[in-house]
A and B are shown apart, each in its own frame.
Chain A
Amino acid sequence: KQEVTQIPAALSVPEGENLVLNCSFTDSAIYNLQWFRQDPGKGLTSLLLIQSSQREQTSGRLNASLDKSSGRSTLYIAASQPGDSATYLCAARDNNAGNMLTFGGGTRLMVKP
């Protein structure tokens, strides 16, 4: 059974800092891995999706990497801004599991002005 873990659970950084969020998964037979952002009281906003055959994906100040062999993914946020404050979730979609996603517990990020 897939298990996804995110460390740390919470992170506070000053504005402008570059930061890395970590995600680990136990079963490397994944179809893809997706990073989401969740603002308080809201649903999930898709940030990046990395297919199992890819090593990384980039969108603006965000870069996500995937290392299936070690069961790890990272989300790199460059030049953080107060508007980046949110909870960040990673989710693994396993092979032969339809569209079911297994989520980590999330990292709650606060960027201080």
Chain B
Amino acid sequence: KAGVTQTPRYLIKTRGQQVTLSCSPISGHRSVSWYQQTPGQGLQFLFEYFSETQRNKGNFPGRFSGRQFSNSRSEMNVSTLELGDSALYLCASSLGQDSNQPQHFGDGTRLSIL
């Protein structure tokens, strides 16, 4: 059974640009969550999608957005990139809303802003 797939693995952008990251969850999983990991702040929750609806949102500016498609694949977009957006972006998938099953993470997309 394939795990969580995130593309691309690495990305280099410059300030002011925008970027789109993709996440394909484990087959059958309908919930996708996104996290930002930095050395200073650790792992911080961005947002969660379930059945194409955003269910929860962390404390990030509106430049960070996401969406989920009918096949449960999810994308997150960051507009007007800042140096501080350099981070490892991780996606996690789980079965559903009330599942007490583990969440599974992809290997992440490492975003570097020049």
Contact = CB atoms under 8 A, between A and B. Distances in A.
Contact of B103 (A41, A46, A51, A89): A46
Nearest to B95: A99
B48 interface: yes
Contacts of A43: 4, 6, 90, 105-108
Interface in A57-96: 89, 91
Contacts of B48: 98-100
B103 A34 contact: yes
Nearest to A93: B103
A98 B104 contact: no
Given A46-B103, A46-B104, A101 B90 contact: no
Interface in B78-111: 90, 92, 94, 97, 100-108, 110
A97 B104 CA distance: 17
Interface residues of B, number: 28
Which applies to chain A's interface (DSSP): helix, strand, loop or mixed? strand
B56 A42 contact: no
A98 B97 CA distance: 6
Contacts of A98: 31, 48, 50, 55-56, 97
Given A43-B90, A100-B33, A49 B102 contact: yes
B105 A44 contact: yes
